[in-house]
Chain A
């Protein structure tokens, strides 16, 4: 039986990149801009934010007893992607017959609690909280997803890019019928 992935729990404190420093503000700006790009359905602009070797994954979460960890499953995923699979997903979503997101959901991504855990001027490890509100059809309520994202951002030709992302979701049972959206 696999216990929870303890490595998913990061208790390190921000060290080399203090809150409010120039790098911290650049990271904040990157995450805020990225959320806007996704919320505005600008998929190709989003792909341009990714490094060619990007890794993108979202592990399954389970309810476990405290002694067994936080329940982030190390080997099973909702997403396990690279640059080319993300590009194929975008090419499908922007096609005329991708019914899952056409008409598109109205999605609002709120990014908060940003911590730059580690890094220097060209590569940083970032933790952020994500609140996703997804609204569809005439439904007056929202599908809600919350997660902690662990990102690796890399500076390429002067611009920050996303080099790696793990989305640690908080629900053991997700309350939305599909993941035709990116987190």
Chain B
């Protein structure tokens, strides 16, 4: 990319002279829609965000055996995620160090080595350069194999998810996660056998900037009332339809606790008292957390599996899961894990991971993985899978409509006046952490507002201004 002029307090100066800092207006809490449309900003993101942030690329259960690999993307780069014979998972740039062809051209497979089809350079499972054809004739002075292996990313796993980072100076993953670790554990790391992915992910192109999805999943509860209104008319709301007024029906999922942490991650936690009054009746609210969890287990768990959670989570985490569980959790910048509750103890809910992979300023590729609890009975796993794809992903009755709003925002950003317009984040609840709340971070209890999403933009701004590692 071209070298960008830089000033300490305003970040990159864009081609027309606009300082980047003006685009995320901290005082007004507004974001210029230019950030959705400008290819110059997209290029800066590839460098400053996707070149420095921890990016989710896979789940460990996708590569269970030594030699298994999947190919993924970080920013616009193709990477190989491969399981080694010693059990480690490595993430390597899928670019031949010789002339730049992709050495791996399948989405998945099993191999002991990657042989570039262009000139035949061969790399080991771990990316080291094994050799090249006619090595003596071509490289009589030596091939310097030790410095010509595939470029390695830093890799860490958390709750089975595999994260990669190109930056040698970025903090370790747990530090990057900060207080969000406590909440993600409730979603990913609850049972003896843990989660496993169900087959290959869905992949599809959304003609919109990746940030339209990423900022929404950081905590937008407000949109559900209108964009997902059709769901209120479906069976999902039937159970409470007879007992609650229209206003209550339309807002049950708006009331809860939003959490975000300074690292940019964010959670939406739904208050079960409002979302499931037909199950959690008032007389049950004083029962121990584990009893309430059996009445309404987290997505993917049978009531019988609930007792396992006591071995993996602390008392505070169990209480949060029993009362106001995190249902949407976003890893900054571009991955979200969802644990959507079923409506009854028999309801299986939905478990999914999305990533929003940037393609260009005007398009991103959405990936959708379905998850099950590995230790669940087979029939329950099947139901979880069916229920997840019914609600979420490309055909999901919830997310079909999200895929309508993001491209429409993008069309707006294409217009001259449209791109001068701003996204508004003026409705703030302010930190008001309840006494009993055991987790850290910025905690916003009540009717979900813009706090989480605004924090997402502040973190985005920090990355783009170049203030971070």
Contact = CB atoms under 8 A, between A and B. Distances in A.
A140 to B, nearest CB: 14
A144 B469 CA distance: 43
B434 interface: no
A100 B404 contact: yes
Given A74-B199, A95-B233, A63 B106 contact: yes
Given A60-B200, A99-B227, A1 B110 contact: yes
Contact of A73 (B199, B204, B235): B199
A173 B205 contact: yes
A76 B204 contact: no
A179 B395 contact: yes
Nearest to A95: B230
Contacts of B106: 62-65, 68
A62 B108 contact: yes
Contact of A173 (B203, B229, B231): B203
Contacts of A8: none
Interface size class of B (residues with CB under 8 A): 35 or more
Interface in A40-99: 58, 60, 62-65, 68, 71, 73-81, 85, 88-89, 91-92, 95-99
Given A88-B397, A173-B204, A99 B107 contact: no
Contacts of B229: 97
Interface stretch (B285-293, B384-392, B419-427): B384-392
Contact of B109 (A1, A58, A88, A100): A1
B198 interface: yes
Given A64-B108, A65-B106, A179 B394 contact: yes
Most chain-A Cβ atoms within 10 A of its Cβ — which of B68, B201, B395? B395
B200 A76 contact: yes
Contacts of B202: 60, 76, 78, 174
B299 to A, nearest CB: 17
Nearest to A82: B386
Nearest to B369: A76
Contact of A62 (B64, B200, B386, B401): B200
Contacts of A173: 203-205, 365
B462 interface: no
A12 B110 CA distance: 30
A179 to B, nearest CB: 4
Contact of A176 (B64, B204, B231, B386): B204
Nearest to A173: B203
A2 B197 CA distance: 12
Output the residue of B106, B200, B229 with the most chain A CB within 10 A: B200
B404 A78 contact: no
B403 A88 contact: no
A70 to B, nearest CB: 12
Contact of B407 (A71, A177, A179): A177
B400 to A, nearest CB: 4
B230 A92 contact: yes
A180 interface: yes
A175 B394 CA distance: 11
A172 interface: yes
Nearest to A139: B207
Contact of A177 (B68, B206, B390): B206
A157 interface: no
Contact of B107 (A71, A100, A180): A71
B201 A174 contact: no
B356 to A, nearest CB: 12
B68 A1 contact: yes
B389 A80 contact: yes
Which 8 pairs from chain A and chain B are nearest by CB?
A76-B199, A100-B400, A179-B395, A75-B199, A177-B403, A178-B403, A97-B229, A174-B204
16 contacts: A2-B199, A64-B106, A65-B105, A65-B106, A75-B198, A76-B199, A88-B235, A88-B397, A95-B233, A97-B229, A97-B233, A101-B400, A172-B203, A173-B365, A174-B204, A177-B407
